[in-house]
Amino acid sequence: MKIILIKYGELTTKTGNRKLFINILCDNIKRALSNYNVKIVKSHVRMFIETDDNIDEIVAILKNIFGIHSIVIATRVNTNIEEIESSALEIAKSTDFKTFKLDTSRADKKFPIPSMEFSRRIGSLILRNIPNIKVDVHHPDYTLKIEIREDYTYIYHKEIAAAGGYPVSVAGRGLLMLSGGIDSPVAGYLAMKRGIKIECIYFESPPHTSQMAKNKVKTLTQILTKYEQAITLHVINFTDIQEAIYKNIDPTYMITIMRRMMYRISEKVMEKSSCLCLINGESVGQVASQTLTSMQVINKVTNVPVIRPVACLDKLEIIELSKKIGTYETSILPYEDCCTIFLPKHPAINPSLEKAIKYEKSFDYQSLIDKAVMNEEIIKITNKTDEFDI
Ligand code: ATP
Ligand code: MG
């Protein structure tokens, strides 16, 4: 019978946490495959998925689950010499190749034939039965792998590369500042890849920003549910704060102050939702608010860890990743963002902390922040939610 074999990624290096990692990975897989009829068996070195459902569809889903290093569609037979021989030959016959090698591993040391000898035995069986092929142990076109275990033996030749990383949730939870742009969804993807379960926060400024802009962010969140099946999106009404900034703050400092307000609100939402860090799409030097001096002044409002997964990537590298994860086409749709609507012509690229603090004293931002946090809208987005109009 055909069976899907999951090989773990980096988690195998963390011996102490291994059991926890495997359990979380197993839960994530179960959730991702909830529409399918599958039986999952986990072991210390592999996970086995048995199913009569469409294997290609299941593999396509598994390829996006972090913590999986590679996926193999194997034929499972009883650990019995005759059965292994006939299956190995049948599998070899189903593919065209000129050169090949056998790779046997024997987890079951009670199996009477040592691995090398067994490889030679199956190899010569294949040579006798398929014309015009030869063995090449260094650069074969085709490698047939045989994993002999106590209960069953697995035979396969193709290993499908999967997403790698750590299973989502292993590292705890983080709050992603998600705008409609290119960078922040990529930052979210990279954070999830390191095992962080994300929630998202989006600042909107109606009526200056539209429902379409908000739907764009919901759509981006939904695309990210490929990697984490349900994501909570916190929507913050930022209009009063933005208008107060526009009315009271020197234009060169508007962006600095606006971002300090975003960080303050994000920190509060982060704590309310038991997240352990903030994540955003800032990239060093990309815009005025992302010079190191600006980042210093902005970051001063919080002590929580701020993770910036794309901080040191070039824009082109970020774009490439956004295409790979499927967010690019949505990110480039032309809806306004609350950062862009009040954009001054010449934002300070070297703001000073003293001036930022002085300017902020010109309005009662604390009560506006409390109100914005209190009135947050919480939306649960899953990969089963209907699509959003954009
Ligand atoms: P992006 O492409 O992600 O929009 P950007 O290059 O446009 O980034 P900024 O607008 O300066 O850069 O924003 C930097 C980061 O701040 C974003 O990557 C995002 O994490 C966060 N951010 C900006 N605007 C918003 C918003 N309206 N809601 C939530 N987070 C935001
Ligand atoms: Mg932006």
Domain ranges of the chain: 2-161, 173-382
Whether 343 has a pLDDT exceeding 90, the answer reads no
In 10 A of CB 43, how many CB atoms? Answer: 11
Residue with tokens 């009477």: 112
Instruction: Judge: domain 2-161, CATH 3.20.20.140.
Output: no
DSSP type of residue 10:
G
Q: Is 185 in the pocket of ligand 1 (CB under 6 A)?
A: no
DSSP calls for 113-178? S-HHHHHHHHHHHHHHHSTT-EE-SSS-SEEEEEEE-SSEEEEES-EEE---SB-TTTTEEEEEE-
Three-state secondary structure call for residue 179 = coil
Q: How would residue 359 be classed by pLDDT, with cut points 50, 70 and 90? A: very high
Q: For residue 331, which ligand has an atom nearest its CA? A: 1
Q: Is 202 in the pocket of ligand 1 (CB under 6 A)?
A: yes
**pLDDT value of residue 14:** 58
DSSP type of residue 275:
-
Q: Which two tokens stand for residue 250?
A: 């020197």
Residue with tokens 């998600």: 178
Whether 12 has a pLDDT exceeding 60, the answer reads no
Three-state secondary structure call for residue 197 = strand
Q: What does the CA dihedral 328, 332, 333, 339 come to, rounded to 10 degrees?
A: 120
CATH number of 173-382: 3.40.50.620
Contact indicator for 308, 282 with CB cutoff of 8 Å = yes
Q: How far is the CA of 288 from the centre of ligand 1 (A)?
A: 12
Residue with tokens 């962010």: 217
Q: Which two tokens stand for residue 163?
A: 């997403």
Ligand 1 atom with minimal separation from the 279 CA: 20
Choosing from 176, 177, 179, 260 the residue with most ligand 1 atoms within 8 A of its CB, the one to mutate for a pocket test is 179
DSSP type of residue 65:
-
Whether 339 has a pLDDT exceeding 70, the answer reads no
Q: How would residue 15 be classed by pLDDT, with cut points 50, 70 and 90? A: low
85-108: average pLDDT:
94
* Smallest CA separation from ligand 1 atom 11, residue: 289
Whether 331 has a pLDDT exceeding 60, the answer reads yes
Q: How far is the CA of 180 from the centre of ligand 2 (A)?
A: 6
pLDDT tens, 138-152? 999 999 999 999 889
Beta strand extents in the chain (DSSP E only): 2-8, 38-42, 46-51, 68-78, 99-106, 134-135, 142-148, 152-156, 159-161, 172-177, 196-204, 230-237, 277-279, 306-307, 377-382
What does the alpha-carbon distance between residue 371 and residue 388 come to, in Å, rounded to a whole number?
27
* Smallest CA separation from ligand 1 atom 7, residue: 181
Contact indicator for 68, 9 with CB cutoff of 8 Å = yes
What does the alpha-carbon distance between residue 254 and residue 360 come to, in Å, rounded to a whole number?
10
Choosing from 183, 205, 295 the residue with most ligand 1 atoms within 8 A of its CB, the one to mutate for a pocket test is 183
Q: Which two tokens stand for residue 247?
A: 């009315």
Ligand 1 atom with minimal separation from the 185 CA: 3
What does the alpha-carbon distance between residue 23 and residue 5 come to, in Å, rounded to a whole number?
16
**pLDDT value of residue 36:** 95
Whether 288 has a pLDDT exceeding 90, the answer reads no
Query: Is the peptide bond prior to 347 cis by the omega test (within 30 degrees of 0)?
Result: no
**pLDDT value of residue 219:** 96
Choosing from 176, 178, 184, 254 the residue with most ligand 1 atoms within 8 A of its CB, the one to mutate for a pocket test is 184
Whether 348 has a pLDDT exceeding 60, the answer reads yes
Whether 57 has a pLDDT exceeding 60, the answer reads yes
Burial per residue of 373-386, b for 16 or more beta-carbon CB atoms within 10 angstroms, e otherwise: beebeebebebeee
Low-confidence winner among 134-148, 203-217, 279-293 (lowest mean pLDDT)? 279-293
Between residues 275 and 151, the one the model is more confident about: 275
Which positions ≥6 away from 96 have C-beta within 8 Å?
Answer: none
Share of the chain above pLDDT 70, in %: 97
* Total number of residues shown for the chain: 390
What does the alpha-carbon distance between residue 257 and residue 300 come to, in Å, rounded to a whole number?
11
Cα-Cα end-to-end distance for the chain? 45
